[in-house]
Amino acid sequence: MIPKFTPIDFSARRARVARSVANAGFDAYVGTRQASLHYLSGAFMPWRGAVIVTANGDSSFVYWAFDTSRVREEGKDVEIQSFMFSDFVKTVATRLRELGLGNGRIGIDLAHPGAAQIAPGMVTAAEYLELKQALPSARLENGVDLIDDVMLIKEPEELERLRVAAAVADIGFAAGRAAVRSGVTENSVAGAIEQAIRDNGSTWAWALTGGTEVGSGQRTGYLHGVTQQATDKLIGNREFVILDLHPMIDLYLADSSIPVFIGKPDAQQRKLIDCWEDVAMTMVEHMRPGRTIPEVVKKGLAVFERHGLSDYCLPVFGHGLGTCARTRPFINLHSQDEVQPNMVVALGTHLYMPTVGGMRLEFPLRVTEAAAEPLMKTPPKVHFV
């Protein structure tokens, strides 16, 4: 049973973004990412849309007509102009002109510096060119930080939701682990996970990487591989099993992956496990306020190096969590962020050796004033079946 959450003050949230826009010298922010739409509307918005926040505090939405009625009903005081078919950019440009910003400095969702992937909803090249043509006097610039700076540190109401999402991830992992045995399919295990998280309030299986992921045996060991969509492969004895699940509670995500091993590992598999667990503990220990993200990343890379397994690791160690899992801080050497209290991250550790197997950690953590607080109760270690 999902608890009754403390309501979010969306007006105050939009006002904070407006101040960010003004302080950066922009006239408006046009957000098209899932993260922005969910963060500022309070409604599930999977289709093409935009939120427009001006420096003087005006906020409005542009959204696909076939889903607009639902969002008006479920959103929190949202003003929406709908569009049909290919009129998305035209409608956004018209709204900006109505606001007197046809010649303004406009921040749009163009790129995430330091990100390994493209966040869902970034402006496409065609949309960018069309918007430039529609507003020839406007200055279109990358504006992702206009809202990312606000979303980086979580409000108490967000922490409530993220804690519950992590608790549902615990339930999903337990169901997946219980379903893992020799002779069952990956799809069967994924179904058990889905049943468990849906029964406990999850409303969406994050679709970016194939929803609930289950990979086993050699499918866990793709070199530098991070995607194992569940298949009809039978799980066998003495295999690693990757369970990667993404429950969503009131628009807030958990991103959870903790390895399972079925049977008794051989010497080479044991070596991988010892390294992976050493790195995972090192990352949790060093995710503390005052350190830069690259400093923390170097600690993890040094452990891989010490175990002689650097060729099989990934030099990325997670990402932020909130209304999307493609948000700052990106935990890699390119990050310009510093670890701060009330950041929430999916801390990652990746080790994949072809023909031997692999392990993935996606572990929700909240940074406190002094350390890193796990939001899941399941320990970040290999679980044996």
Residue pLDDT, tens place only, 260-285: 999 999 999 999 999 999 999 999 99
**CB–CB of 362/376 below 8 Å?**
no
pLDDT, tens only, 55-81:
999 999 999 999 999 999 999 999 999
Q: Up-side HSE of residue 78: CA atoms within 13 Å toward CB? A: 28
Q: What is the CATH number of the domain that holds 86?
A: 3.40.350.10
Which pLDDT band holds residue 207 (cuts at 50, 70, 90)?
A: confident
Q: Which two tokens stand for residue 322?
A: 């909130």
User: Is 274 in contact with 300 (CB distance < 8 Å)?
Assistant: no
In this prediction, residue 97 has a pLDDT band, given cuts at 50, 70 and 90, of very high
160 plus 147 within the same structural domain: no
Same domain as 193, residue 115: no
Same domain as 19, residue 165:
no
The domain tally of the chain equals 2
CA distances (Å), origin 14, targets 37, 152, 372: 11, 15, 29
307 in any annotated domain: yes
User: Which of 124, 151, 178 marks a domain boundary?
Assistant: 151
Residues 219 and 133 in one domain: no
Residue where one domain finishes, among candidates 151, 181, 196: 151
| Structure confidence by residue, pLDDT tens digits, 135-160 | 999 999 999 999 999 999 999 999 99
> In the structure, what pLDDT confidence band is assigned to residue 1 with cuts at 50, 70 and 90?
low
Which pLDDT score is estimated for 206?
Answer: 78
| pLDDT, mean of residues 332-351 | 97
Q: Quick one: pLDDT at residue 2?
A: 76
d(CA 361, CA 346): 9
**Other Cβ atoms within 10 Å of 63 Cβ, number:** 27
Q: How many CB atoms lie within 10 A of CB 146?
A: 27
Last residue of a domain, one of 151, 167, 200: 151
The percentage of residues in the chain with a pLDDT greater than 90, rounded to a whole number, is 95
127 and 233, same domain (yes or no): no
DSSP string, 234-245: BP-TTEEEEEEE
**Residue 129 and residue 140 in contact, taking contact as beta carbons nearer than 8 Å:** no
**Same domain membership, residue 234 and residue 109:** no
> Is residue 201 pLDDT above 80, yes or no?
yes
Residue 4 lies in a domain: no
Residue 93's pLDDT is 98
- Per-residue confidence (pLDDT) for residue 284, from 0 to 100: 97
Averaged pLDDT of the chain: 96
Residue 210 has pLDDT above 90, yes or no: no
The predicted model gives 166-177 an average pLDDT of 98
Asked whether residue 207 falls in the same domain as residue 220, the answer is: yes
Q: Do 207 and 138 have their domain in common?
A: no
In this structure, the answer to whether residues 269 and 203 fall within a common structural domain is yes
Instruction: For residues 141 and 174, state if they share a domain.
Output: no
Same domain, 143 and 161: no
Residue 173 sits in the same domain as residue 115? no
Q: Residue 352: pLDDT above 90? A: yes
Let me know if 319 is exposed, middle or buried by CB neighbors in 10 A (0-12, 13-18, 19+).
Answer: buried
Q: Please give the residue range of the domain that contains residue 292.
A: 156-384
Measure the CA–CA gap between 197 and 177, rounded to whole angstroms.
13
